[in-house]
Amino acid sequence: MIEIFIGFLSGIISGMGIGGGAILIPALLFITSVSQQTAQGINLVYFLPTAVVSIIVHIKKKNVEIKTAAVIGASGVIGALFGAWAAMAIDGGLLRKMFGVFLLLIGAYEIYKGIRMSKTT
């Protein structure tokens, strides 16, 4: 049952274009007994259908610049090859710590950005 809630919450975040992995991966690590690499693999499989639905909605709303998205997508494929190789080469514990630091940095940046925006309004 908890997996349904995790999937639903991650789907909401994915639909917003934020990336459900920020919810999905930590939830899998803290609530289930999967390894970091397995959680990331589940996230990748989960990402495919949620991304397709989100893309369709955003294209219909004309929120996608196709040329920019194509360039970023092509570059992302190359980055994904490197990232998949690195994820398999790095120890799971270190990978988990790196992901945690990444999430902390993103969170700190979002807080900073929010404070900065509130001062200008």
Name the residue with higher pLDDT: 60 or 11.
60
User: According to the model, what pLDDT value does residue 65 have?
Assistant: 94
State yes or no: pLDDT of 70 exceeds 90: yes
Closest of 52, 80, 55, 79 to residue 65, by C-alpha = 55
pTM of the shown model: 0.62
Helix axis angle, 92-120 to 21-31, nearest 10°: 140
User: According to the model, what pLDDT value does residue 118 have?
Assistant: 87
User: According to the model, what pLDDT value does residue 101 have?
Assistant: 92
Name the residue with higher pLDDT: 15 or 24.
24
Cβ distance 96 to 38 under 8 Å?
no
Name the residue with higher pLDDT: 97 or 1.
97
Closest of 11, 37, 10 to residue 24, by C-alpha = 10
Cα 99 from Cα 83, distance rounded (Å): 12
Give the mean model confidence (pLDDT) for residues 58-62.
92
Tokens representing residue 115 in the block: 């404070």
Cα 17 from Cα 54, distance rounded (Å): 7
